[in-house]
């Protein structure tokens, strides 16, 4: 199970790992917190506005999940407001889905080291949801961190997934989010036009997905 707050979080953060799991026949469900309706990117050239963006991002999210052959459940929270939700209520919501689906693994953001308040808040609720479960039924938790100081504070990640074999699938998933990619990450749409060395470096940068294994025994990473 993947628990992230925004459409496209799954694409950049874990698409290669999801593609690998699906190739191995492992079912994956994405619990997406919001529709990213407060995002600043509206396509390039612009094709969305504040009113149309939520529906556009929902369609992009569905396309991305179809690309990964991953089940999607939308949690219905509002973008940029998860930090103001009651953490225990969100955790209870997530726990009900965890107990229904019974995943063996949860991938989420590492609270405090994932930059965006939505990332940190939903990650904290996801960890709390797993902690609240019967210890014998808890899935493992892989937590993703990418703040500038995360390795200084947490040490090196415990899991480094080489997803070179799934880069094309990851790229296709990223490109599903056209309203967002066309702005900040426009180079993904022009891969064939890149200098070979630049292209190689970009593939290398996005072909390892890193995670920390959460340790509930001492309430911090193992």
Mean pLDDT of all residues in 28-33: 98
Residue pLDDT, tens place only, 156-214: 999 999 999 999 999 999 999 999 886 556 667 667 676 788 778 888 889 999 999 99
- For the full predicted model, state whether its pTM sits above 0.85: yes
Mean pLDDT of all residues in 14-21: 98
* Lookup: tokens for 188: 């993904």
Start-end of H helices in 36-116: 53-68, 87-101
Domain count, the chain: 1
Residue pLDDT, tens place only, 70-114: 999 999 999 999 999 999 999 999 999 999 999 999 999 999 999
Q: What is the pLDDT of residue 222?
A: 45
6 vs 74: CA distance, rounded Å? 10
What's the mean pLDDT when you consider all of the chain? 93
Least confident range of 2-6, 43-47, 151-155? 43-47
Q: What is the pLDDT of residue 205?
A: 86
Three-class DSSP category at 152: helix
pLDDT surpasses 60 at 221:
no
Residue span of the structural domain in which 63 resides: 2-221
Residue pLDDT, tens place only, 76-87: 999 999 999 999
Q: What is the pLDDT of residue 196?
A: 80
Any idea what DSSP says for residue 110? Answer: -
Q: CA of 147: how far to CAs of 25, 115, 206, in Å?
A: 32, 6, 16
Phi, psi torsion values for 54, nearest 5 degrees: -55, -45
CATH code: domain of residue 190:
3.40.50.10320
Q: What percent of the chain has pLDDT over 70?
A: 93
Mean pLDDT of all residues in 11-28: 97
When comparing pLDDT for 24 and 41, which is higher?
A: 24
Place of tokens 């340790």: 215
17 vs 211: CA distance, rounded Å? 11
Nearest CA-CA partner of 142 in 106, 101, 111, 115: 106
Bridge partners (DSSP) listed for residue 74:
32
Nearest CA-CA partner of 212 in 106, 70, 121, 103: 106
Bridge partners (DSSP) listed for residue 32:
4, 74
173 vs 202: CA distance, rounded Å? 16
Asked whether 190 and 175 are in contact (CB, 8 A), the reply is no
Let me know how long the chain is.
222
């Amino acid at each position: 199970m993947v628990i992230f707050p925004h459409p496209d979080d799954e694409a950049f953060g874990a698409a290669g790992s999801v593609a690998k799991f699906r190739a191995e026949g492992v079912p994956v469900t994405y619990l997406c917190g919001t529709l990213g309706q407060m995002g600043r990117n509206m396509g390039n050239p612009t094709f969305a506005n504040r009113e149309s963006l939520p529906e556009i991002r929902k369609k992009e999210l569905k396309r991305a999940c179809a690309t990964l052959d991953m089940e999607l459940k939308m949690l219905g929270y509002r973008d940029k407001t998860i930090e103001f939700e009651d953490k225990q209520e969100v955790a209870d919501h997530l726990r009900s889905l965890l107990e229904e689906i019974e995943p063996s693994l949860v991938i989420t953001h590492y609270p405090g080291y994932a930059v965006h308040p939505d990332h940190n808040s939903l990650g904290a609720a996801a960890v709390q949801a797993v902690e609240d479960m019967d210890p014998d039924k808890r899935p493992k938790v892989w937590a993703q961190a990418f703040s500038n100081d995360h390795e200084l504070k947490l040490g090196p990640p415990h899991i480094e997934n080489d997803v070179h074999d799934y880069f094309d699938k990851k790229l296709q998933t990223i490109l599903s989010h056209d309203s967002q990619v066309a702005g900040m990450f426009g180079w993904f749409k022009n891969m064939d036009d890149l200098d070979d060395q630049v292209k190689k470096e970009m593939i290398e940068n996005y072909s390892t997905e890193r995670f920390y294994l959460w340790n509930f025994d001492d309430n911090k990473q193992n």
